[in-house]
Amino acid sequence: MRLRWLYWLIGGIILFLIPHVISDEYWMHMIITTGMWMMLAVSMDLIYGCTGQLNLGHAAFAAVGAYITALLMLRLEWSYWLALPLSGLGAAAVSLLVGVPTMRLKGLYLGLATLGFSEIVRLTLLMWASVTRGPMGLPGIPLPTFGSFTFESKTSFYYMILALLLFTVFCVYRIIHSRVGIALMAIRDDEIAARAMGIDSSRYKILVFVVGTFFAGIAGSFYAVYVSFISPDSFKMLDSFMIFAMPILGGIGTLVGPLIGALILYVLPEATRVFAQYRMLWVGILLVVTMVTQPLGILGGLETLAGKFRRPKNGVKAE
């Protein structure tokens, strides 16, 4: 435990050095995009992993964030640093609008409602052509600037997404390890029992939903300035499904699990890009194989494996 700060230091140095070691533009692009997926996966895990709310429309909230940023910067020429938090808040406001009426739905029904909502967002973006230019999308989103510095190189975007991701992970970590987090776990494990203990479950569920989608909006906002072009097809239903699968693949409610899940689901198909056509084939196979062998995800599987070798603590086997 005394060496903890050392681990943090080494980890920090590695993260800091990555863009200076990797010079290949393509790999840097991969790493930056993975960072964005990780943000989405971690915020998804806050919603799904901590309270068990099935959200099958996470990408739609990212789309809301991306469009808010794009429109504010293109039409009103606002600074990115104003558009970024507003995108998060916008996505959170939309989620409040969706969340309050759907909060009494449970499990799959909530999943279907969020899925239906995400498709309505996509259709709205397509149809509301006077503002969103419909299927043509919004090109030429300006690069963010800070004083005289312009975020243009891959390195600068790397540090930006790193900061955003660390901020997300930090916030989620603080939420999970707080009084609220304990209430959330209680709700996930047994909502009726939690209510009987005096936990206002609806309030907590909405809170988590809103906070989680806030980060989705931020991730979408980053995507908008990084790629500088967005269209309704930038955030598809498939993306929502992938974001949903990431924490489950890695191991829910663990914070590290969603990061692993995002890494695997995003990097694996890209790494096999030699067989470009086949890449999604691997994703499909991977999802099925993991689910039928490790229903608790990769981390869950590792833990079971470790438990077999670990000496039971104080004579009581850790569950």
Partner 1 sequence: MQPLQQLVQQIINGLVIGSVYSLVALGYTMVFGILGFINFAHGDVFMIGTFFGLVLLGTGHFNFTAALIGAALLTGIAGVAIEVVAYRPVRRFGKGFEDTMLVSAIGVSIFLETLAQIIWGTETHALNSGIHSVDFQFWGLNVSSIQILILVTGVVLMVVLHLFVTRTVTGAAMRATAQNMLAARLMGIGVNRIIAITFAIGSVMAAVGGMMVGAYFDAVYPLMGWTAGIKAFTAAVLGGVGSIPGAMVAGVLIGLVETLGSAYISSGFRDGFAFIILILTLLFMPSGLFKARKGEGKV
User: Minimal CA–CA distance to 64: which of 40, 93, 38?
Assistant: 93
Q: Which is nearer to partner 1, 227 or 237 (CB)?
A: 237
Asked whether position 187 contacts partner 1 by CB under 8 A, the answer is no
- Structure tokens given for 243: 């974001």
Q: Which is nearer to partner 1, 113 or 219 (CB)?
A: 113
Q: Which is nearer to partner 1, 61 or 80 (CB)?
A: 61
Start-to-end Cα distance in the chain: 22
What character string, x for contact with partner 1 (CB under 8 A) and - otherwise, covers 188-227? Answer: ----------------------------------------
Judged by CB under 8 A, the chain residues 39 through 68 that form the site for partner 1 are 54
Beta-strand ranges (E) seen in 179-264 are none
Asked whether position 237 contacts partner 1 by CB under 8 A, the answer is yes
Q: Exposed, middle or buried by CB within 10 Å (0-12, 13-18, 19+), for 228?
A: middle
**CB distance 81 to 160 below 8 Å:** no
How far apart are CB 240 and partner 1 at their closest, in Å? 10
Q: How far apart are CA 224 and CA 48, in angstroms?
A: 25
Burial profile 11-22: b = 16 or more Cβ within 10 angstroms, e = fewer: eeeeeeebbeeb
146 sits in which H/E element: strand 145-146
How far apart are CB 57 and partner 1 at their closest, in Å? 11
Q: How far is CA 277 from the centre of its chain?
A: 26
Asked whether position 128 contacts partner 1 by CB under 8 A, the answer is no
Near partner 1 by CB under 8 A: residue from 3, 24, 77, 277: 277
Stretch that binds partner 1, among 106-114, 161-169, 180-188, 213-221 (CB under 8 A): 106-114
Near partner 1 by CB under 8 A: residue from 14, 82, 97, 280: 280
How far apart are CB 42 and partner 1 at their closest, in Å? 17
**CB distance 36 to 222 below 8 Å:** yes
Give the count of residues interacting with partner 1 (CB under 8 A): 40
CB within 8 Å of 261: residues ≥ 6 apart? 41, 245, 246, 247, 248, 249, 250, 251, 297, 298
Asked whether position 172 contacts partner 1 by CB under 8 A, the answer is no
Near partner 1 by CB under 8 A: residue from 286, 301, 302, 303: 286
- Structure tokens given for 37: 């997926």
Asked whether position 96 contacts partner 1 by CB under 8 A, the answer is no
Near partner 1 by CB under 8 A: residue from 126, 143, 166, 263: 126
Written as one letter, the residue type at 265 is: L
**Per this entry, what is the length of the chain?**
319
Binding site for partner 1 (CB under 8 A): 54, 101-102, 105, 107-109, 111-113, 115-117, 119-120, 123, 126-127, 237-238, 241-242, 244-245, 248-249, 277-278, 280-281, 283-288, 291-293, 295
